[in-house]
Amino acid sequence: MSVRRERDQLARELDAARRRIADLEAALLRRGRDTLTAVLRIEAFREQLVEELRRTRRRGLQGALVVLQIDRLADIHRDHGFAAGDAVLGALVEALRAGTRTEDLIGRTGDDRFALMLREAGEAATRACVARLLGELQGLAIESVGGISVSAGVALFGPEDDDPVALFAIAGGALADAQAAGGGRAVIAADDGEDLGVSAALQRRDAVEALAIALLERDRYTGEHSESVVEMAVAVARSLGLSPTQVEDVRAAALLHDIGKVGIPDAILNKPGPLTPDERTVMAEHPVIGERILQAIGGFAQVAGIVRHEHESWDGSGYPDGLAGAAIPIGSRIILACDAYHAMTSDRPYRARMSHADAFMELRRCAGRQFDPQVTAALVARLYHERAGRALHAV
């Protein structure tokens, strides 16, 4: 075969492989599954949890919700690269599958967070299962990384529990305790009174998760959109060299940037067409409403500030304060660009999605006007890298 024919053939195969991957991803997404690990995404997981709580109540059963987070995934990314991070996630999911029963449920609730629902499991069985899982993960030998240190928070449930948001908050509080104690361990939330567990837990980072679920319930598109923006925003924040604390603030703000939409009337929020000027004015209040919601929770001052300014433009033409350039918090600038990219490449009821190539061009075109040029450059580099990596993966 001539060199040229060989090359043409290769190009055709590459193209076919890319199409297969795209189809596979679309099929996974349609079934409510995460594209990287093929476990349930948070909204599908949550639906099943609600269903299980109903069954638990009807039949007087018990069960457990376990939230797990990989300790220091950011360090793995930094020290070993994103491919190693993906290998860690894959190995984790495999271990979770192997270590649970088929009737249990695995979901991915964040880029380094997973949830398990153990059906008809009491405290002793749950304890044994989680301890075995963490031990197995620690003993893994993933090339260059070694074992995985994972922290877990457990909320047990029984017939009287009917609130999935509260359960996530309780498990999240226990997870925070496990992490504060150095990670690599599990904490089971103590069952000592109804509101104590919830209100104490809500004071901490898991409030983020609870709010994100509330948003998902209110407006599915905005909830899913926010989750997609998180990964991009965190990657851009890292590549711009932000401190770990700033990166965590960006992560929370990205997940909650549109939380203020819970305060926007349904008729406007779900309108299947462009908004009138009056409706747009109401919609434009969502960053300020979001700031108020976050200010009401302790420890979220920075995040609230980022959310307030998520629609400010680099050239000063944005809202609510018309800030320009470096006066806009860096987190807000990052979220604006990632948000725009995700919105452009998503289908909406009133317009079709833009191709990734066109969205790249649009980002570049608006750099220096709507978007911070440095942020745009980092985002485009990241997206380019990611898409090239995925295509290579496919071959």
Q: Which residues bind Fe ion (CB under 5 A)?
A: 258, 339
CB of 257 to Fe ion, least distance (A): 6
* Euclidean distance between CA atoms 390 and 63, whole angstroms: 38
Long-range contacts of 301-305 (CB under 8 A, 24+ apart): 302/249, 302/331, 303/249, 303/252, 303/253, 303/256, 305/329, 305/332
* Closest to 294 measured CA to CA, from 181, 233, 211: 211
CB closer to Fe ion, 248 vs 339: 339
CB of 323 to Fe ion, least distance (A): 15
Task: Tell me the DSSP string of 207-231.
Answer: HHHHHHHHHHHH-HHHHHHHHHHHH
CB of 235 to Fe ion, least distance (A): 17
* Closest to 167 measured CA to CA, from 201, 138, 125: 201
Which token pair is 207? 């409030």
Which token pair is 226? 């926010």
CB closer to Fe ion, 248 vs 258: 258
CB of 341 to Fe ion, least distance (A): 11
CB of 280 to Fe ion, least distance (A): 12
CB closer to Fe ion, 71 vs 339: 339
CB of 262 to Fe ion, least distance (A): 12
Radius of gyration of the chain, Cα coordinates, nearest whole angstrom = 22
For 64, the 3-state DSSP assignment is strand
Buried b / exposed e across 150-188, counting CB within 10 Å, b at 16+?
bbbbbbbbeeebeebbbbbbbbbbbbbbbbeeebbbbbb
CB closer to Fe ion, 9 vs 317: 317
CB closer to Fe ion, 63 vs 260: 260
- Phi/psi-derived region of residue 369, left when phi > 0, alpha when psi is between -120 and 50, beta in every other case: alpha
CB of 252 to Fe ion, least distance (A): 14
CA angle 71–75–78, rounded 5-degree value: 155
CB closer to Fe ion, 177 vs 258: 258
CB of 339 to Fe ion, least distance (A): 4
CB closer to Fe ion, 71 vs 258: 258
CB closer to Fe ion, 209 vs 258: 258
Which token pair is 360? 């790249």
